Amino acid sequence: MNSTDIISEMAKAIQLALGPVFLLTGIAGMLNVMSGRLSRIIDRGRALTEKPDVIATYEPTEIRTELLMLERRRHITSRAINMFTIAALMVCLVIVTLFLEAMFFMSLKWLIGVLFILATLSLVVGLGYFLREVHVASNTVRIRGVH
C-alpha cells in the first residue's frame, strides 16, 4: 500500500474516533459529578462523627440513621464511579482499535462493536446507579423546622 492509502486510512480513523471522543467527554463529566457527590457524602459523614458541635445538635438515633443512609449512598456512588470508569476505558479501547484497524489494514469491526456495546452498557448501569443515588439522597434529606 502506498503512502496516500495509509494517510487516507488514518484520516478515516480520525474521523471515526471523533464520536467516541465526545462520548468520552460526557463520561468524564459524569465522573466529575459523581466524584463531587462522593466527596460531599464523605464530608457529611465526617461531620457527623468527628465534629462535636455538629454531633451535639442531633439525637444519637438520628446520627445513626443518617450515617447508615450515607454509607448506602457512598456504596451506590462508588459503584456508579466504577461503571463510568469501565465505560471510559471501553471507549478508549474503541479508539485504539479504530487506529489499529487503520494502521494494520485488518478488519476489527466485530471487536469495535463489542467494545462499544460494553461501553454503552456500562454507561447505562452507571446512570442507573446515579439515578438510584439521587433518589436515596432526596428521600433522606431533612430540612429542619419542616418535620
Residues whose CB is less than 8 angstroms from the CB of residue 134 and which lie 6 or more positions away in sequence, other chains included:
none
Yes or no: say if 122 and 31 are a contact pair by the CB < 8 Å rule. Answer: no
> What is the structure's pLDDT at 147?
54
Residues whose CB is less than 8 angstroms from the CB of residue 10 and which lie 6 or more positions away in sequence, other chains included:
99, 102, 103
**What is the C-alpha to C-alpha distance for residues 111 and 37, in angstroms, rounded to an integer?**
34
Q: Give the tens place of pLDDT for each residue, 11-68.
A: 887 887 788 999 999 999 999 999 999 999 999 999 888 887 877 878 888 889 999 9
Instruction: Find the mean pLDDT for residues 1-10.
Output: 74
Domain-wise residue ranges, the chain = 21-38+74-140
Q: Which three cell numbers stand for residue 119?
A: 461501553
Q: Give the tens place of pLDDT for each residue, 54-90.
A: 778 788 888 899 999 999 999 999 999 999 999 999 9
